[in-house]
Amino acid sequence: MNPPPDPVAAATLASEPDPVTQESLRHPEANGILTVDLDALTANWRLLASKSVPAECAAVVKADAYGCGIEPVTRALSSAGCKTFFVATLDEARVVRKAAPTAVIYVLDGFFSHTGRIFVELECRPVIGDIGELAEWDAFCRHRGVNHGAALHVDTGMNRLGLSIAEAQALIPRIEQGNHGINLVMSHLACAELLDHPLNPRQASTFREVARHFSGVTASLSNSSGIFLGPSYLFDMVRPGAALYGVNPTPEADSPMKPVVDVKARIVQVRPVERGETVGYGATWTARRQTKLAILAAGYADGYFRAAGGVDGVRSAEVIIGGKRCPIAGRISMDLMAVDVTDLPKPPRRGDLATLVGDGITVDALSQHFGTIGYEVLTALGSRYARVYKGGPG
C-alpha cells in the first residue's frame, strides 16, 4: 500500500509541474523508477502483425517479458488481439494463463519428467526438441488418455535445441496417419538480424522442406528480426520477442519500433572534485578541471553494467540530467555511479532524477557501452526500481 500523501510534497508538486519532479514525488522511497509504456508495446505488436500478414503474430514473453513484467505485458498484448504466447518455463506459463485465460501457450524449455500434470492443468503445450523427450511426452499422454497437443522444434542450423532433420523426417508417417498430437512445428533463425547472412536462406529452405511434410500443422520460423527478412520467412506464425519491447530488429537500419522502457535513477549527492583528483574504484577517471559530480543511486546490481563506466581517454556512456547529456565519471559500483555535471547551466539537486534509458538513450545504444545486446540490457534491469506502467487496457 502506498504511504499517505505528504502535504509538503503535494505543495511542491503544485508549484513544480515538471513531469520528472511529479514522478519523483509519487515514489519518494524509490532510488530509481522503471516505466513501461504499454501503449508503445501494443503499437509495436500491431506493427509486427501488419508486416506478418497472413501469418499469425504471437508474442514471446519469457524472462518476465524481457524484464518488463510478464503479467501486465501479457494482459496488454492479449487485449490488443494477441492469441498465442511463448514462455520458457512452467512458472511463466502459470502467470500467462492467469493474465490471458483463453490464450494458446507454448513452453520453450519443453517437457521434463513428472511435469505432465501441470501442462494439463495450465492447458499449455511443451515445445519438444528431443526424440527421448517426445517418447516421454507420448507415454504421459497415453497413460492419462489425453491428446493435449505439443510443438516440435527442428534444428535447421542453430545447433542448440531441436530434432535433427533426419529425426523430423522419421516422424512424417506419424503425421500422415492423423491424430498425431502435434500443433506446431518450429525452428529458430541464428542470424536473422544480419540481412545478408548466408545461413538465413539456408535455414529457411531446410525448414520449408520439413514443414511441407507436416500437412495441417502450423509452421513457425521467424523471430523479431526474421519478420523483416521477407515473405518467404513468415510461414504460418511469427514469434517476435525483443522488438515488442523496443529493441531494434533491423540493426543495419533505423529502428521501426517505439521505445517501451524508461529508466531513471535518483541523485543522492552533488559534490565538487578538485582538478587532478580521481573518481571511483581503480582510479580510472581523472578530473581535468574543477569538476562537479552527481552521484546516482544505480549500479550494476540494478542492471547498469560496469563496462559502461568512465575511463580516462575513453568515451563513456551518458545519462540525461536537466535535459542535457552528461558523461559517467569513473567505474560503475554495485549501487552507485558518478556523473560529470560540470557543464550543466543549472546544477541538479539531491533527490532529482536522472534518465538512464529514455529521452533518446535507447537500450540498443546503451548496449554498445555495455558490450552486449539490447536483449541483455532489458533482462538485466534490476528489481530495485519502482515499476510504473503507462497506458494499456483500462
pLDDT digit string, tens, across residues 158-174: 999 999 999 999 999 99
> Which tens digits make up the pLDDT trace of 16-25?
455 555 666 6
- The letter for the amino acid at 300 is Y
Report domain extents, the chain: 38-245, 260-390
Bridge partners, residue 37, by sequence: 390
- Residue 34 C-alpha cell reads as 522503471
Report how far residue 20's alpha carbon sits from residue 25's, in angstroms, rounded to the nearest whole number. 9
| pTM of the full structure | 0.91
| The dihedral sign for the CA sequence 121, 122, 123, 124 | negative
- The letter for the amino acid at 94 is R
Residue 72 CA, distance from chain mean position: 14
- Answer whether residue 3 shows pLDDT above 50: no
Question: What is the largest distance, in Å, between two alpha-carbon atoms of the chain?
Answer: 80
Spatial neighbors of 104 by CB under 8 A, at least 6 apart, are: 83, 84, 85, 125
CB pairs under 8 A, 24+ apart, for 325-331?
A: 325/361, 326/294, 326/354, 329/279, 329/280, 329/285, 329/287, 329/291, 329/293, 330/278, 330/279, 330/280, 330/281, 330/283, 330/284, 330/285, 331/280, 331/281, 331/282, 331/284, 331/285, 331/306
Mean pLDDT lowest among 123-137, 172-186, 233-247, 338-352 = 172-186
| Cβ pair 120, 95 in contact under 8 A | no
* Average pLDDT of the chain, as a whole number: 92
pLDDT value at position 252? 86
pLDDT value at position 392? 84
pLDDT value at position 177? 85
First to last CA, the chain: 20
- Answer whether residue 144 shows pLDDT above 90: no
Q: How confident is the model at residue 7 (pLDDT cuts 50, 70, 90)?
A: very low
pLDDT value at position 26? 76
Q: How confident is the model at residue 379 (pLDDT cuts 50, 70, 90)?
A: very high
Spatial neighbors of 351 by CB under 8 A, at least 6 apart, are: 24, 266, 267
Pairing mode, strands 182-186 and 150-153: parallel
- Residue 254 C-alpha cell reads as 533505423
For the domain 38-245, what is the CATH superfamily, name and number? Alanine racemase (3.20.20.10)
For the segment 283-304, the average pLDDT, to the nearest whole number, is 97
pLDDT value at position 315? 86
Report how far residue 292's alpha carbon sits from residue 65's, in angstroms, rounded to the nearest whole number. 38
Give me the residue label for grid cell 500443433: 183
For the segment 178-192, the average pLDDT, to the nearest whole number, is 94
For the domain 260-390, what is the CATH superfamily, name and number? Lyase, Ornithine Decarboxylase; Chain A, domain 1 (2.40.37.10)
Distances (CA, A) of 3 to 6, 27, 29, 201: 8, 9, 10, 57
- The letter for the amino acid at 111 is F
Spatial neighbors of 252 by CB under 8 A, at least 6 apart, are: 193, 194, 195
- Answer whether residue 47 shows pLDDT above 60: yes
Query: Which has more confidence, 241 or 4?
Result: 241
Q: What residues act catalytically?
A: 62, 281
